[in-house]
Structure 1
Amino acid sequence: MSTSTAQENRRAPRFNPRVFAVAVVASLVLGALLGWIAKTTGASWLVTVLDTIGSVFTSLLTFTVLPLIFTAIVVGINSLRSVGGGRTAARLGGKTALWFAATSLVAVLIGIALAALFQPGRGLVIEPDPAKLSAIGEKTHGSWLDLVNGLVPQNLVSAFAEGETLQVVFVALLIGAASYSLGDKAEPFVNFNRSAFEVIQRVLGWIIRLAPIGTLGLIGNAVATYGNEFFTPLLKLIAAVYVACALVLFVVYPLLLRFVAGVSPVRFFAKTWTVLQFAFVSRSSSATLPLSRQAAENLGVDRSYANFAVPLATTTKMDGCAAIYPAIGSMFIANLFGIHLGPAQYLTIIAVAVFGAIATAGVTGWFTMLTLTVGALGFPPEVVATGIAIAYAVDPILDMMRTATNVAGQIVVPTVVARTEGLLDDEVLAAPSAPPLLDDSSEARLARA
């Protein structure tokens, strides 16, 4: 069995994220060039080809949206069952989750403020379907009573069949809570949803590998339709995300470290800078986990707590991907489609950022959180998929800063909680920085500490 698996792994083509990122950027440039050629020469056939490529890619993304939302919420709620046991673990887990939520609140507010300042997507209105756009307008301008009435579907099938994203979110929360309360009795159902989520993630992974082709079609068709005006919204999106992440990374976290944990921000960055650089380049919080955990220990965090908090933070504490970007991304999509967001919608964005990451512990990522956010706003799947597909053209650029911000927060919060619980060793904190490498010698040093 293991031999055949190894042979299959050898035969399977390897996925290189760096090559993929270059391919996406190259397709962005090529798509823009083809779109410009189509616009200047009036080649309608080229516009049709580009539109078809972009539409097919968007449709592939669309059919994964609702199943992804449902299974992610159900699995995420039930994954909370595995967080520690006993009073001490419960207290540490609760305090950690509280700080996760507090810093996510600050991050999402900064994201909303920067999106309001830069207005990414403003000035370019895309209309995929006037009827659906009209339906969105009714939802966003409706009263709270209309919102409540629209939450409950007549039946489960209609919520999925009619693309009522907000209803799917409501049903998923209800079923997730019910299955959590049933405990072991609901384990088969939870396992089924966990398997379904993995299947959807695998299918989505295959679709995402087509992103260079989809980007070429979407950007090409956009340039052919709207001209050079299409690049300004994307540049504003990049600027808003980078400035918002920089404020959290270099202002919010240092203030938290200084005034709550009593840790010098200079010492913090001295001991984590290599880790943050690796996160920026690798664009993966999971790949950075061993370095993040060791960095927390180098800052004096008790090892047993670091072994609990940092892995939990890696799958839950993502201020870049789960707070800042969903806020800016949802406002970017709203601006693209000419959708007005009122106070109720902004409160929804905040609520999803604060509670969504905790509710989807273990399955949180930028795609899931952005999908959950715009789904909670009531955007139909077609608008969600189109907006996300357009933003995906510059995602490799965005993801570097998002991931660095994620990883910093995943180290900051355990450090703050460790200080408040008397689990921070000041001698280790004051010691010279150890190289954040998990080789045999460093493991031995950690074992002796």
Structure 2
Amino acid sequence: MSTTQEHRTGRIPGWLTGFGAQVIAGLVIGLILGFIARAQGADLPEDDQSWLGTLLDEVGSTYVTLLKLMIPPLIIAAVITSVANLRKVANAARLAISTLIWFAITAFFSVLVGIGVGLVMKPGEGTSVDASSAAEPSSSGSWLGFLESIVPDNILGLAASANSDGDIGLSFNVLQLLVISIVLGVAAVKAGKSAEPFLAVTESLLTVVQKVLWWIIRLAPIGTGALIGHAVSDYGWDALGSLGKFVLAIYIGLAIVMLVIYPAVLAFNGLPVIGFFRRVWPVTSLGFITRSSMGVMPVTQRVTERSMGVPTEYASFAVPLGATTKMDGCAAVYPAIAALFVAQFYGIDLGFTDYLLIIFVSVIGSAATAGTTGATVMLTLTLSTLGLPLAGVGLLLAIEPIIDMGRTAVNVTGQSLAATVVAKRAGIWDREIWDAAQEGGFESAAGEDSHRAHIDQEPVGASEENAVTDRADSSVRS
């Protein structure tokens, strides 16, 4: 329907009522409520917050908890089902290798950006940050982190720990869940006919999980509004102070990765740049406000499958793996600039070999510390490898929440980008799903009436045009 016809019939254009518009409205309302809550808490003691601030905090954290709640069943059901379907593909191993290679390529260019920004802006020189705030972190990164985290402690990949108040908290390791699910999927394939009921149950479970997940995603406007409101009211933007130059350097580095490196990768692989960023917007925005790659992972996987056109069988492997190892913000840009900051603050000159070590740690270290990878873990790994004082980590803790928002947004965007690029290069990218998302937006592409895309037997590296054309004729859409 044209704009004129919509005006005559009194109908509101779809883009004004769609999911994306609702999320933006939630962000705007959240900003307003955040400023109100901050004003209410201005006269309260430092550790207290207003009733509105408390409400925003509770609603936002509850939404993130709901998203994380769906991660274990989503990984288990999706990966087992996908492994069963991948038995039809002769080049599944090459898909996994290609994924790791593109993880490394984007990490390489991201760390180069971080080093460049750190050398030009010199955030550690002339800073007025108090040296007394220097303190070593309670834990640090280890090159053996991968081996320590890949072996499951139990069949569910769960870990328990006692909180300071005496309560027992449970957590899960995504990498361990991924390993467990792959093993179960391979075992089911090897078992043959006797495992068909098991595979039928997991496929049915996946359908139910995706339905519940979509209900949770539909709450995103409320969740995003509460999260951004809490950020404004509680994080304390005035904490920037003496570290303002460092924060600016981080965000400039992240912006270059997002607006230069990623578009270059997309263009090189023949993917529409604007189209990609339109589709990935729910992932990027939710990553920014939740500050949790794990929390956003279910949304990342859904968008990657149903808006980007990446087959479920591949996305269910690439996205969880990316959520633990693919972090261009936390594991490339941030540790590079932070390492330069610490060196400049303590007056330590870095040589060419040191810069090569920063690159090596950023490209390989995120995989070596998979399962425990985080900004602080990667920074401690980088500092210890360079021989820089770990106490420098304490200098940056005051602005951690502020820069973590931008880092996470880049992380989750890169995770979706890598999966899409590999699918396109392997000839398994579904152009029909991509086009459907263009016509109807995220809500249409991720809607409940979509059908599942399956990987066909086209060899990796075959002609992309032929593969996509064949797929448009024969694949079952998700």
Match of 1:240 in 2: 249
The one-letter amino acid of 1:282's match is T
Match of 1:345 in 2: 354
Q: Considering only aligned residues, what root-mean-square deviation do their CA atoms show, in Å?
A: 4.2
Contact 1:169 1:376 in 2 (8 A): no
Choose from 248, 268, 280 the match for 1:272.
280
State the identity %: 37
Aligned-pair CA distance for 1:380: 4.0
Normalising by structure 1, what TM-score? Answer: 0.58
1:311 & 1:255 partners in 2: Cα distance? 24
2:410 & 2:372 partners in 1: Cα distance? 18
Cα 1:169–1:231 change in 2 (3 A) is: same
Q: Which digits, 9 at most, give the CA deviation of each residue in 1:95-145, with x for residues without a partner?
A: 11111111101000000000111111212487679xxxxxxxxxxxxxxxx
2:163 & 2:432 partners in 1: Cα distance? 44
Match of 1:102 in 2: 105
Contact 2:111 2:332 in 1 (8 A): yes
1:113 & 1:198 partners in 2: Cα distance? 41
2:97 & 2:163 partners in 1: Cα distance? 29
Contact 2:334 2:375 in 1 (8 A): yes
Name whichever structure is richer in helix by fraction: 1
Aligned-pair CA distance for 1:406: 0.6
**Pairs within 5 Å for 1:189-268:** 191=153, 231-232=241-242, 234-260=243-269, 262-268=270-276
Contact 1:107 1:323 in 2 (8 A): yes
Cα 1:424–1:328 change in 2 (3 A) is: same
Choose from 328, 333, 358 the match for 1:319.
328
Match of 1:390 in 2: 395
Choose from 415, 427, 431 the match for 2:432.
427
1:445 & 1:127 partners in 2: Cα distance? 56
Match of 2:123 in 1: 120
Cα 1:437–1:316 change in 2 (3 A) is: farther
2:304 & 2:260 partners in 1: Cα distance? 19
Contact 2:437 2:444 in 1 (8 A): no
Contact 1:291 1:437 in 2 (8 A): no
Give the unaligned 5+ runs of structure 1.
1-17, 32-83, 130-162, 207-214, 220-229
Give the unaligned 5+ runs of structure 2.
1-32, 47-82, 170-234, 453-476
Aligned-pair CA distance for 1:446: 4.2
1:197 & 1:370 partners in 2: Cα distance? 24
Aligned-pair CA distance for 1:236: 1.2
Aligned-pair CA distance for 1:417: 0.6
1:322 & 1:202 partners in 2: Cα distance? 29
The one-letter amino acid of 2:398's match is A
Choose from 401, 405, 408 the match for 2:410.
405
Aligned-pair CA distance for 1:389: 2.3
2:309 & 2:447 partners in 1: Cα distance? 15
1:110 & 1:404 partners in 2: Cα distance? 17
2:334 & 2:341 partners in 1: Cα distance? 10
Cα 1:304–1:88 change in 2 (3 A) is: same
Question: Matched residue of 2:447: which SS?
Answer: helix
Question: Matched residue of 2:450: which SS?
Answer: helix
Q: Which digits, 9 at most, give the CA deviation of each residue in 1:59-96, with x for residues without a partner?
A: xxxxxxxxxxxxxxxxxxxxxxxxx8986332111111
Cα 1:437–1:356 change in 2 (3 A) is: farther
1:366 & 1:437 partners in 2: Cα distance? 32
Q: Which digits, 9 at most, give the CA deviation of each residue in 1:274-333, with x for residues without a partner?
A: 221111111111111122112212111111111111111111110000000000111111
Aligned-pair CA distance for 1:202: 9.6
1:127 & 1:442 partners in 2: Cα distance? 53
Q: Which digits, 9 at most, give the CA deviation of each residue in 1:373-394, with x for residues without a partner?
A: 111111344x2xxx22221211
Q: Whose relative contact order is higher, 1 or 2, with alpha carbons under 8 Å and at least 6 apart?
A: 1
Question: Matched residue of 2:91: which SS?
Answer: helix
Cα 1:199–1:114 change in 2 (3 A) is: farther
